[in-house]
């Protein structure tokens, strides 16, 4: 197959290109290239998707499939309009963030499937902030299906993506923290929310599914998620992944929040922890993707491989570098000391 990947040099796109190459496909990656070059063996077309001639180098060719990972609706609208007549099929990588939260008019149900209500589509061509992320992705989905039609398009909606190279550090924080405790007592601070759901999609499993979707010309929409597991089980698996022995110190989530520790992601956070009103974000139904052939490796492998890669890159360990998610050593030690003093 001749596959055009719009993206292909950053994390997920690079995995898609690599997987397609491993399966013997002829792959072209169109991207700015700011994240580097695509894997060896792929043709690289350097282009800025904001430019009016961004697709000039590829619109004179025919493609068996296009895989688009863009977030800005203007990029997707432009690509779809010029490629719909040259490509037999399109796979668009969306997100489970398209679904409305309970406080936004969504159901808030755990295990909701692809029929759950989504954000109104963003009218603008460019997402102005992360607050518009879900709405922007809805607009991108609509652009793809409008240009290609339902018979030639497939929408994949991943949940939290993890594994080697996770640039957000959300899925590498816990195994890295267990591997490198901040204190001699080997205590690790966790939120006292053991039953809250978690879902992690391994980036390699996602890439394999996306390439298979192109090969088999899937249609419709599918949530592409990892298995739903309680937060306590996720932590136990992370501990096994790195051979940690120590003590979990559970703190009430209100106590944590009062000390300006965030949930889910970002600096000074406890990743993957979600407040009660947002738990549906980590409990999407993925039975359709599984029925289509989604294969999911054990979470322990995802976490171990992610931690190993982070350590090798020297960017995600809790003792080094600027944290993109989680607590620094100093911050965790201070919170543990305050918690002990309050006891």
Separation of alpha carbons 240 and 311, rounded Å: 17
Ramachandran angles phi, psi of 305, nearest 5°: -65, -40
The pLDDT score that the predictor gives to residue 322 is 67
Ramachandran angles phi, psi of 34, nearest 5°: -70, -25
Q: Which segment of 185-194, 246-255, 304-313 scores lowest on mean pLDDT?
A: 304-313
Separation of alpha carbons 104 and 202, rounded Å: 29
Enumerate residues 6+ apart whose C-beta is below 8 A from 342: none
pLDDT band at 107 (very low <50, low <70, confident <90, very high): confident
pLDDT band at 321 (very low <50, low <70, confident <90, very high): low
% of the chain residues with pLDDT over 70: 97
The pLDDT score that the predictor gives to residue 315 is 47
Separation of alpha carbons 172 and 85, rounded Å: 42
- pLDDT beyond 80 at 103: no
Alpha carbons within 13 A on the beta-carbon side of 146: 14
- pLDDT beyond 70 at 318: no
Q: Are 326 and 184 in contact (CB under 8 A)?
A: no
The pLDDT score that the predictor gives to residue 206 is 98
Point out which residues pair with 326 in neighbouring strands.
267
Give the pLDDT mean for 205-224.
98
Residue-wise pLDDT for 110-134, tens only, equals 999 999 999 999 999 999 999 999 9
Domains and their CATH numbers in the chain: 2-158 (3.40.50.720), 165-198+228-278+298-342 (3.90.25)
Q: Are 157 and 98 in contact (CB under 8 A)?
A: yes
The pLDDT score that the predictor gives to residue 36 is 86
Give the pLDDT mean for 173-194.
96
Q: Are 5 and 70 in contact (CB under 8 A)?
A: no
Q: Which segment of 109-113, 182-186, 256-260 scores lowest on mean pLDDT?
A: 109-113
Residue-wise pLDDT for 76-97, tens only, equals 999 999 999 999 999 999 999 9
Enumerate residues 6+ apart whose C-beta is below 8 A from 245: 186
State how beta strands 197-198 and 229-230 pair: antiparallel
pTM for the structure as a whole = 0.95
pLDDT band at 343 (very low <50, low <70, confident <90, very high): confident
The pLDDT score that the predictor gives to residue 161 is 97
Give the pLDDT mean for 240-253.
95
Give the pLDDT mean for 42-56.
95
Mean pLDDT of the chain: 94
Q: Give me the residue label for tokens 């994949």.
A: 156
């Amino acid at each position: 197959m001749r596959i055009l990947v719009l993206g292909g040099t950053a994390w997920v796109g690079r995995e898609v290109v690599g997987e397609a190459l491993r399966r013997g496909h002829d792959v072209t990656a169109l991207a700015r290239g700011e994240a580097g070059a695509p894997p060896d063996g792929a043709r690289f077309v350097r282009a800025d998707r904001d430019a009016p001639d961004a697709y000039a180098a590829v619109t004179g060719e025919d493609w068996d499939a296009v895989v688009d990972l863009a977030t800005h609706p203007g990029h997707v609208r432009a690509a779809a309009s010029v490629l719909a007549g040259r490509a037999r099929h399109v796979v668009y990588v969306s997100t489970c963030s398209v679904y409305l939260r309970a406080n936004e008019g969504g159901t808030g149900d755990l295990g909701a499937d692809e029929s759950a209500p989504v954000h109104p589509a963003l009218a603008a061509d460019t997402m102005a902030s992360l607050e518009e992320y879900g709405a922007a992705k809805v607009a991108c989905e609509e652009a793809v299906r409008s240009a290609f039609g339902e018979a030639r398009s497939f929408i994949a909606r991943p949940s939290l993506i993890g594994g080697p190279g996770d640039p957000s550090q959300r899925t590498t924080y816990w195994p890295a923290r267990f591997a490198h405790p901040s204190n001699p007592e080997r205590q690790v601070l966790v939120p006292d929310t053991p039953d809250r759901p978690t879902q992690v999609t391994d980036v390699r499993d996602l890439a394999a599914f996306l390439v298979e979707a192109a090969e088999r010309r899937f249609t419709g929409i599918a949530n592409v998620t990892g298995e739903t597991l309680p937060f306590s089980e996720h932590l136990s698996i992370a501990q096994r992944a790195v051979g940690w022995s120590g003590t979990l110190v559970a703190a009430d989530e209100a106590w944590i929040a009062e000390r300006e520790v965030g949930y889910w992601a970002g600096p000074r956070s406890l990743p993957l922890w979600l407040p009660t009103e947002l738990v549906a974000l980590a409990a999407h139904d993925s039975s359709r993707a599984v029925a289509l052939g989604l294969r999911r490796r054990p979470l322990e492998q995802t976490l171990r491989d992610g931690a190993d890669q982070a350590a090798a890159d020297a960017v995600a360990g809790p003792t080094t570098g600027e944290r993109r998610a989680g607590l620094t050593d100093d911050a965790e030690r201070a919170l543990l000391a305050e918690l002990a003093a309050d006891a």
